[in-house]
Structure 1
Amino acid sequence: MNTAASYRVAVRALCDFTAREGDLDHRFTPSPSAQEGIAGHTLVASRRGDSYIAEMPLSGAYKSLTVTGRADGYDPAENRLEEVKTYRGSLERMADNQRALHWAQVKIYGALLCKARGLDEVTLTLVYLDIATEKETLLSYKAQAAELELFFTTLCERFIAWAEQEAEHRLARDLALTSLSFPHATFRPGQRELAEDVYKAASTGRGLLAQAPTGIGKTLGTLFPMLTAMPRQRLDRIAFLTMKTPGRRLALDALAQLRPDKQKAEDSGLEAPRVLELIAREKACEYPGIACHGDACPLAAGFYDRLPAARQAAVAESWWDRDALRKVALAHSVCPYYLGQELARWADVIVGDVNHWFDRHALLHGLAQADDWRVGLLVDEAHNLVERARGMYSAELDQQRFNRVKRSVPKAIGRSLASLGRQWQALVKEVVENKPDDANQAGYYLLESLPDKLVGALQNAAASITNHLGEHPEDATFELQELLFEALAFCRLADSFGDHSLCDITLKGRGKALIGLRNLIPADFLTPRFKAAHCAVLFSATLTPAHYYRDLLGLPVNTVWREVCSPFVARQLEVRIRRDISTRFRDREASLAPMVSEMAQQYQQAPGHYLAFFSSFTYLDAALKRFCQQHPDVPVFAQTPGMREAERDAFLQRFTPGGQGIGFAVLGGAFAEGVDLPGDRLIGAFIATLGLPPFNAFNEALKVRLTTRFGKGDDYTYRIPGMIKVVQAAGRVIRSPTDEGVVVLMDDRFAQPSVQALLPSWWAIGGQSS
């Protein structure tokens, strides 16, 4: 939003903000692609006469507001102004709020045209073009210039009132942030250094990789300098992005500490930054299982009619975490989730998952592009971004789901699905016949190229489903929609397929194949996302080596790497290596006896709470069984596959101050990072693996691709990801400058210099056992 005395707005944005009315309606409505929309507009223009003016630029001013846009077409001979909209399916089923928005747009263009050409009246026409049939439906009425001018000024008045309010908020916010002070008397050791690096990154518009140990207050140490830089660098938004829900909570707690007292701020003419917590739709929904439209959900009925009041009430408070947002939404009978989506446009600091900026359909990235925001990104636990981003740009097709859906689909789409089914079968047959037996790893095969025939059949099936559901939305079952969304996602990724991805197939039995498009190098997709931000700060306790993250994430060339000095000292943590133990797969059985002996000996020497990490549940179960047999007097408890949240909480509650016992867990799992057990709640960890990803066809293919691109395939595929897990797990032991503990690394490979180079620099590895 412009904070100067004058404002500019596009016609669509003006109408979108001021003219929406009626119900929220998120029933499935297949819409044309951008390319189809452009082609449709071109087709309509080609059908008009020689005097027809396509893409006619129009603009006009009212008070401090300038409104600009391009009308789709004007025929001077007929004095007819057209707004062209492409659609699929039945026009009668188009949501009322969409139709109202379309009329508002053509009315605004009509007002601008009449003023520009001195017209007393003009015929306004909505041209609806069915993409499938290329049939036009025209809705017209003759409007008087005075009527259109009144409509124009009414919308402009609404917009100006909001724009002036936003400009005043921006000034008051920036004034408050200019005098922002750190909420504590002193910084923690290392915290000031981190804050200075973040401020420099924001000031220079560069990227920053900050490796900072747990316990120094990274959340506050990154938010404070970014907020301080906000007015000086004219930042419009700060996005604090997390990997998991606990990270959001920590960010909100830090922001609460940084907020000025509300009454004191108002008395001084200051305003705290507006803070929004973005949460998943399923967690915000008040009526789970009910369709999201006005005929079914009471919070969707009349949503746009009540939205302005709800929005105004929200900005009066400026703190929109999950509970506060729900309170405002329910007070105005609107959906909390979609109120949050609206407030994302007006928040100063947004706290949410990394997908909101980096995903293919990321909300915040889309808003930033549309409104030309200057954004400061803060990415917490950034060591996870490589794998998270790979998932964002991967897709999978399930033959079993497809076969189940195919049996119950309407006849109109049966032919295209039957064709797709034949391509599935042909591909499976070709893979089985052409691959030697020794290439089969549990039914997993790598494909040398995209299965073009299957992709073509998939595109046809997706088009067939889309067209049918446009005409018959009552046939949109959950599974059919899921199949469509999977097909569309797969086809989109197929269009951009390259050396950053691979295609594979897993055969789990007859009719149970899975085809995957797996992203290997997220940099190809993330580079534009980083460029769209003014600055990006990625921080974690494990960001070594820097080149791994620079390469795989596609960070800007001006990104710098900083290691914040640890507040911990070597005497706090005893680190030992058992050189005589090998956890390689062939040595697993032989490793159990010395591991159990080491764990029991350490426990008897210093009773307390320990965590023991293993590479798999199978390995964990074998060690647990052996330990219980030999040391039944030692309390033990174990992580199990698929633990629910309540079960995970119960596991962690065992770690009481002064308690004793050993918890068995899987490296890289729920208890290996993001767990805070300070003091004597946890005094040691046993790590029985290097955490290396499994040696299989996929990882070997990944290694080849990463070697070709970066020359570091083995490190990037195996050693570095494994050691990140090890360091994260070991980091559970020392959480504050007063903690003390022990870490026992149980594998001879931990003694290798190349492995030790990836361990924290403040560790002093001594007393190496043999």
Structure 2
Amino acid sequence: MKVSRLVTPEGEKAQINISVRNLVEFLLREGDIDNRRGSVDPFEAMQEGSRIHRKIQNSMGPFYSAEVPLKYAVEYDDYILGLEGRADGLVLDRDENGDVVTATVDEIKGMYMDVMTFEKPVLVHEAQAKCYAYIVAKEYELETIEVQMTYVSLETEEIKYFNKIYTYEEIEEWFLTIIGIFKKWADFQFYHKKELIDSIQGLQFPYDYRDGQKKLVADVYRSIYRRKTLFMQAPTGTGKTIANVFPAVMALGQNLAERVFYLTAKTATALAARDAYSLLVEGGYEGKTIMLTAKEKMCLCDEADCNPDYCPYARGHFDRINDVIYEVITKETVITRDILLGYAQEYVVCPFELALDVSTWCEGIICDYNYVFDPNVYLKRFFAEGKSGEHIFLVDEAHNMVDRAREMYSETLIKEEILSIKRYAKPVSRKLTNALEKCNRIMLEYKRLCDSDITVLEDIDTLVYACDNLQMIFEQLFKKEIKFGIYQDEVLDFYFRLRNFTAIAYQQDRAHYRIYCDFDEDKNFNLHLYCIDPSAQLQDRLRLARASVYFSATLLPIDYYKDLLCNDKDVYAIYVDSVFDQKNRLLLLGTDVTSKYTRRGDDEYTKFAKYIHSIVSAKQGNYMVFGPSYKFIEDIRQKYVELMENDFSDQGDFAWENISEIEREDSEVSYKEEFDNVELLVQRQKMTEQEREDFLLEFEKQRDKSMVAFCTLGGIFSEGIDLVGGKLIGVIVLGAGLPQVGNERKLMSDFFDEYGKNGFEYAYLYPGMNKVIQAAGRLIRTKDDVGVIALLDERFRFSSYRKTFPREWNDAAFTTVDDVSVKLTNFWEKKS
């Protein structure tokens, strides 16, 4: 539903438009959510249904008009409700004068069911036809009108008809009842939109503008107005979240857009966006904003199984959902997960489906990148079939988008998995077993070609055709609700990956992809469709919006991100200067140590440990040390502990206290080591949400000693966290952060070399330095923060590395392990 022409010439009314199909599906839906009804995408079913539609329509003779557009307007005091749709078929009977005397509206529905068992039409299908029937009867002033429901099985093409004749009085009474039920929703849409626009007219920026922030807001607004894509490099402290949200909201007030999607991959940045909207609400903004959360985190049951036999929230969900939607949108403003869970429990509806439905009534949607960009997860209600709208995309932490996009648009087929699924299929379907065996044989041929670590293939057409056939057989079985017993979930996972593999195989091209095969650590044979340059795929999504803003504290060099995040050459790019006093931060480049593999060993690890020891000893406080891997930080930690043991042993007062595990059952999670004057905190793999929170809470504690937290570069603690007010006074980065050399990185490097880019820089340098700059950015978060950043690797001397530095790093000073203490002492003495 869309409010159009709210700002109208004097004397004209605003108009709300909704399709007939959306109207009846929204008002008359009923029953359960049920995941047992098959696994076929409804949009694939719709495509097959369109084919059947055309076949039936073409067989109906010369008096049958197909795909007849119909419109109707209901005028209220303040606005007009416009209905529009397209009747599948219309037959008009005329008298000798050419006047229409009777009419039949035909509604065709293709179903993956045995339609011959139907005893009556489906309620929403018949309602759609009856709406068309009323429009036709009204237009031609008919006394009666016939409604024909044509159901066809998409498998057998058997057809069953239901016919009913209505008097004009009957069809009008029914239609006006439906419109009457919908009026409260139309009223909400109109009056809310009016309140929204009125509230924005007087909306003020919630803070005093920082240096350069007003220009930043203007640049974002200008990009939206001009329908452009904007890249924004904005260091920490520039207020980039509110500086993007505010002009986007102002664009809503000028009818330049319908809604704003704030896209992020981190909970912390999603919360920052929520807080920005809350500030605007406090200032008078009347817009509705919702935070969408993954289904697994929304589910109120122990397991996300949408089966009405097990889930009370799925049972009868559609009978109750509209009442709760109306409650939420009329009572709430910034709609969070907790708010939705509260309503879902009270009304006994699925909270995830509630969130999706509520989102259609909101102007602001805060969600993961996937909901817009991932072809398997995107919000079909907004973007199905390439449907575009006057949307604004605000992409936060955009430096993450390159790798995330590569994941979204790549897929892998595993030969050994095909064999496993074949074993599960044997008792179920001979046809499926044969199709799996054919795919396996083709994979075996590719396996014989793969005589090295990695083999690049020019095409895989034979395999794609076989996968296409395999996918079709799977779908035929799912339509018949055939199950695979205890292997059902595993089979479904394989099917979805297969479907994604096939879809990508038809879309991929050599300008953006490489097809290669290799063996994994378990000796499984893998065939990869690897999207190295995701710009074209992302551009297809960006076209669904009016304007997009990519912003981050690390988008350097900007050409790298412009090349890979869109393929539109007419884009804006701006660099926002830091607002912080550089004198509050000492930036050191350690040039006598490196994390290069060829140099790793005791001598190098000892130098890293000495750097840490010198930096931590210079001033008591909390420090973060970032290393390229869990093993690397463990090796450095051990050397650092040895250094402290030796140091204290010389003084005769070394004391080892206890190791206190935050989680005792799993040795892989973080733990603390406590010494006389320092505590060590170590990030481990597989940390739960609670363990992450506990880790960060250590920075809140008051202690009479220093704390050193060892973390992975590019990991969960290297971006998106704020440790302000003296909670962090030092960041130490061990190495240049370059990705590990491997098949994909080598392939990537060769790819960019082939297309005239610097392969090393695109595959290794820029992704690595992105992690370094992000980690360093944990330190100075406000104007009052003070501290030391130490980047320890001789490669930081090279101009190719330093050209990726932010402008405000122009005061970086070279140092060595021998003279670092002097520089630290001078800095801290000045700050004291």
TM-score, scaled to structure 1:
0.91
The residue matched to 1:67 in structure 2 has which SS?
strand
The alpha-carbon deviation at position 175 of structure 1 amounts to 0.9
Distance 1:199 1:6 in 2: 26
Q: State the Cα deviation string for residues 8-63 of structure 1 (Å, max 9, x = none).
A: 33221222233323333443432544542322212222333343322223333333
Name the CA shift for 1:18/1:89 in 2 (closer, same or farther; >3 Å).
Answer: closer
Match of 2:594 among 582, 594, 619: 582
The alpha-carbon deviation at position 362 of structure 1 amounts to 5.5
Distance 1:553 1:287 in 2: 38
Distance 2:105 2:216 in 1: 58
Name the CA shift for 1:52/1:13 in 2 (closer, same or farther; >3 Å).
Answer: same
Distance 1:76 1:645 in 2: 64
Structure 2 residue 105 is the aligned partner of structure 1 residue 81: yes
Name the CA shift for 1:292/1:434 in 2 (closer, same or farther; >3 Å).
Answer: closer
The residue matched to 1:299 in structure 2 has which SS?
coil
Distance 2:802 2:118 in 1: 62
Distance 2:557 2:492 in 1: 43
Structure 2 residue 353 is the aligned partner of structure 1 residue 338: yes
Structure 2 residue 161 is the aligned partner of structure 1 residue 138: yes
Q: How many residues align?
A: 753
2:312 maps to what in 1?
298
Aligned residues of 1:416 and 1:457 also touching (Cα < 8 A): no
Aligned residues of 1:190 and 1:566 also touching (Cα < 8 A): no
Distance 2:91 2:379 in 1: 39
Structure 2 residue 62 is the aligned partner of structure 1 residue 62: no
Distance 1:509 1:683 in 2: 41
- Structure 1: which amino acid aligns with 2:129? V
Structure 2 residue 182 is the aligned partner of structure 1 residue 159: yes
Aligned residues of 2:435 and 2:466 also touching (Cα < 8 A): yes
1:219 maps to what in 2?
241
Residues 322-721 of structure 1 correspond to what in structure 2 (within 5 A)?
322-361=337-376, 363-364=378-379, 366-367=381-382, 373-409=389-425, 411-431=427-447, 433-436=448-451, 439-440=452-453, 445-475=454-484, 477-499=488-510, 500-508=512-520, 512-554=524-566, 556-589=568-601, 590-632=603-645, 633=675, 634-655=678-699, 656-657=701-702, 659-709=705-755, 711-721=757-767
The residue matched to 1:407 in structure 2 has which SS?
helix
Match of 1:43 among 55, 67, 72: 55
- Structure 2: which amino acid aligns with 1:541? A
Aligned residues of 1:358 and 1:365 also touching (Cα < 8 A): no
The residue matched to 1:141 in structure 2 has which SS?
strand
- Structure 2: which amino acid aligns with 1:612? V
Distance 1:393 1:93 in 2: 42
Name the CA shift for 1:594/1:92 in 2 (closer, same or farther; >3 Å).
Answer: farther
Distance 2:349 2:185 in 1: 20
Aligned residues of 1:276 and 1:350 also touching (Cα < 8 A): yes
The residue matched to 1:677 in structure 2 has which SS?
coil
Distance 1:434 1:651 in 2: 48
1:761 maps to what in 2?
807
Distance 1:472 1:351 in 2: 36
The alpha-carbon deviation at position 274 of structure 1 amounts to 0.8
The alpha-carbon deviation at position 676 of structure 1 amounts to 1.6
2:785 maps to what in 1?
739
Aligned residues of 2:34 and 2:307 also touching (Cα < 8 A): yes
The alpha-carbon deviation at position 587 of structure 1 amounts to 0.9
Distance 1:34 1:450 in 2: 31
Larger RCO (CA within 8 A; separation ≥ 6): 1
Aligned residues of 1:285 and 1:335 also touching (Cα < 8 A): yes
Aligned residues of 1:612 and 1:685 also touching (Cα < 8 A): yes
The alpha-carbon deviation at position 752 of structure 1 amounts to 0.7
Distance 2:379 2:477 in 1: 32
Distance 1:550 1:657 in 2: 44
Residues 13-28 of structure 1 correspond to what in structure 2 (within 5 A)?
13-28=22-37
1:113 maps to what in 2?
136
Q: State the Cα deviation string for residues 714-766 of structure 1 (Å, max 9, x = none).
A: 22211111111000011112122122222222211101112111112112111
2:324 maps to what in 1?
310
Name the CA shift for 1:609/1:509 in 2 (closer, same or farther; >3 Å).
Answer: closer
Name the CA shift for 1:121/1:28 in 2 (closer, same or farther; >3 Å).
Answer: same
Distance 1:518 1:765 in 2: 38
Name the CA shift for 1:256/1:49 in 2 (closer, same or farther; >3 Å).
Answer: same
Aligned residues of 1:420 and 1:454 also touching (Cα < 8 A): no
**Structure 2: gaps (5+ residues):** 7-12, 94-101, 646-674, 818-832
Distance 1:453 1:54 in 2: 39
Name the CA shift for 1:643/1:471 in 2 (closer, same or farther; >3 Å).
Answer: same
Distance 1:435 1:475 in 2: 33
Q: State the Cα deviation string for residues 157-191 of structure 1 (Å, max 9, x = none).
A: 3334422331111111111111112333x234444
Q: State the Cα deviation string for residues 408-444 of structure 1 (Å, max 9, x = none).
A: 336453433343234325424543x3344xx32xxxx
- Structure 2: which amino acid aligns with 1:766? A
1:268 maps to what in 2?
none
Moved more, 146-155 or 280-289: 146-155
Name the CA shift for 1:28/1:751 in 2 (closer, same or farther; >3 Å).
Answer: farther
Distance 1:5 1:228 in 2: 20
Name the CA shift for 1:422/1:374 in 2 (closer, same or farther; >3 Å).
Answer: closer
Aligned residues of 2:442 and 2:462 also touching (Cα < 8 A): no
- Structure 2: which amino acid aligns with 1:230? L
Structure 2 residue 217 is the aligned partner of structure 1 residue 195: yes
Distance 1:104 1:593 in 2: 77
Structure 2 residue 202 is the aligned partner of structure 1 residue 179: yes
Name the CA shift for 1:24/1:84 in 2 (closer, same or farther; >3 Å).
Answer: same
Larger-Rg structure: 2
Aligned residues of 1:413 and 1:464 also touching (Cα < 8 A): no
The alpha-carbon deviation at position 530 of structure 1 amounts to 1.9
Structure 2 residue 320 is the aligned partner of structure 1 residue 276: no
Moved more, 736-745 or 72-81: 72-81
Give the percent of matched residue pairs that are identical in Structure 1 and Structure 2: 28
Cα RMSD (Å): 2.8
Distance 1:48 1:161 in 2: 40
Aligned residues of 2:388 and 2:543 also touching (Cα < 8 A): no
TM-score, scaled to structure 2:
0.85
Distance 1:485 1:519 in 2: 18
Q: State the Cα deviation string for residues 557-616 of structure 1 (Å, max 9, x = none).
A: 442211212122332222222222232111111421221222222222234322222212
Distance 1:669 1:290 in 2: 28
The residue matched to 2:813 in structure 1 has which SS?
coil
Distance 2:752 2:468 in 1: 30
Name the CA shift for 1:566/1:510 in 2 (closer, same or farther; >3 Å).
Answer: closer
Q: State the Cα deviation string for residues 473-509 of structure 1 (Å, max 9, x = none).
A: 5558222222221111111111101121223334248
Name the CA shift for 1:466/1:692 in 2 (closer, same or farther; >3 Å).
Answer: same
